[in-house]
Amino acid sequence: DAGVIQSPRHEVTEMGQEVTLRCKPISGHNSLFWYRQTMMRGLELLIYFNNNVPIDDSGMPEDRFSAKMPNASFSTLKIQPSEPRDSAVYFCASDSRTGATNVLTFGAGSRLTVL
Amino acid sequence: EDKVVQSPLSLVVHEGDTVTLNCSYEVTNFRSLLWYKQEKKAPTFLFMLTSSGIEKKSGRLSSILDKKELFSILNITATQTGDSAVYLCAVLNTDKLIFGTGTRLQVFP
């Protein structure tokens, strides 16, 4: 099992550019979560999907952020246009809601720097 | 609003010391509390606690939950430099994990 796979690992871009982060959850996991981590605010839940359907996007900071999950093995988080305050590490995590454990498995993260 | 508060924010100790990390929470529809360890990359799972008073142990780490007082502690005995990390507490409500900001532990030789 390759775990949760995220790309890119690092992204440096200029303000105003579009950023797309990608995630492949663990096969068989039917819930997927996008978190953002900063020193000031810690890990914040942005949005999560259950069976490819967005359940709660109340953590998405503003309309510049959008997320999709077109199928069970792929999700994207898009920021358009990006701003310096979006600089953070973005984690994708997945788990299986068929069990009772709800132990999230995290990807290695995508470190975004917006200049 | 659901929230998870960890203390202290930062801790510096010497190898061999024992540390206690705290986590308090206010969450509707509590289901479980989880502890994660984060070194340089992704958080990795340590414990999940669902019942009060039952200690979970893994080597030198142990944790316990008090659902009446709404808190949990994570103990690390005989600390080692490899224990240096950010320790995250998270509470699961109906369907999502809410994280605290973490406690940064630094263990010096």
Banded model confidence at residue A15, pLDDT cuts 50, 70, 90:
very high
Find, in chain A, the residue whose alpha carbon is nearest to that of B35.
Answer: A103
Average pLDDT over residues B91-104: 88
Q: Measure in Å the smallest separation between the Cα of A108 and chain B Cα atoms.
A: 5
Size of interface A-B (CB pairs under 8 A): 49
Q: What does DSSP say about strands B56-58 and B103-108: parallel, antiparallel, or unpaired? A: unpaired
- Test mutation, B10, B39, B41, B46, chain A, max A CBs within 10 A: B41
- Choose from B44, B99, B103, B104 for mutation: most chain A CBs within 10 A: B99
Contact A41 B101 (CB under 8 A): yes
Indicate the average pLDDT of chain A.
Answer: 91
Annotate B15-30 with b (16+ C-beta within 10 A) or e (fewer).
eeeebebebbbebeeb
Whether B97 and chain A come into contact, CB under 8 Å, resolves to yes
A25 part of contact set with chain B, CB < 8 Å: no
Is B105:B11 a contact under the CB 8 Å cutoff?
A: yes
% pLDDT > 70, chain B: 100
Determine the average pLDDT of the residues in B3-7.
94
| Phi, psi of A111, deg, nearest 5 | -90, 115
Residue A102: predicted pLDDT:
66
pLDDT of A112 > 70? The answer is yes
- Tell me the average pLDDT across B36-63: 92
pLDDT band at residue B58 under the 50/70/90 scheme = very high
How many angstroms separate the CA of residue A109 from the nearest CA in chain B?
7
Q: DSSP character for A25?
A: P
**Does A98 have pLDDT greater than 60?**
no
- Residue A82's alpha-carbon distances to A63, A64, A79, B80, in angstroms, are 11, 8, 6, 41
If we measure between CA atoms, which residue out of B106, B104, B105, B99 comes closest to residue B5? Answer: B99
Question: Mean pLDDT over residues B44-51, rounded?
Answer: 91
**What gap in Å lies between CA B8 and CA B100, rounded to an integer?**
11
Residue A99 has pLDDT above 60, yes or no: no
B43 touches chain A (CB under 8 A): yes
Helix (H, G, I), strand (E, B) or coil at B32: strand
- The candidate with the shortest Cα–Cα distance to B32, out of B51, B6, B7, is B51
- Which band of pLDDT confidence, cut at 50, 70 and 90, is reported for residue A97? low
Residues of A in contact with B88 (CB under 8 A): 42-43
Return the pLDDT at A7.
Answer: 96
CB-based contact B42 A108, cutoff 8 Å: yes
- Which whole number is the average pLDDT over A53-71? 92
How many Å is the Cα radius of gyration of chain A?
13
pLDDT at B51: 87
Residue (of B9, B99, B20) closest to B60 by Cα position: B20
**Nearest-angstrom CA–CA distance, A113 and B5:** 28
Give the pLDDT confidence score for residue A101 in this predicted structure.
53
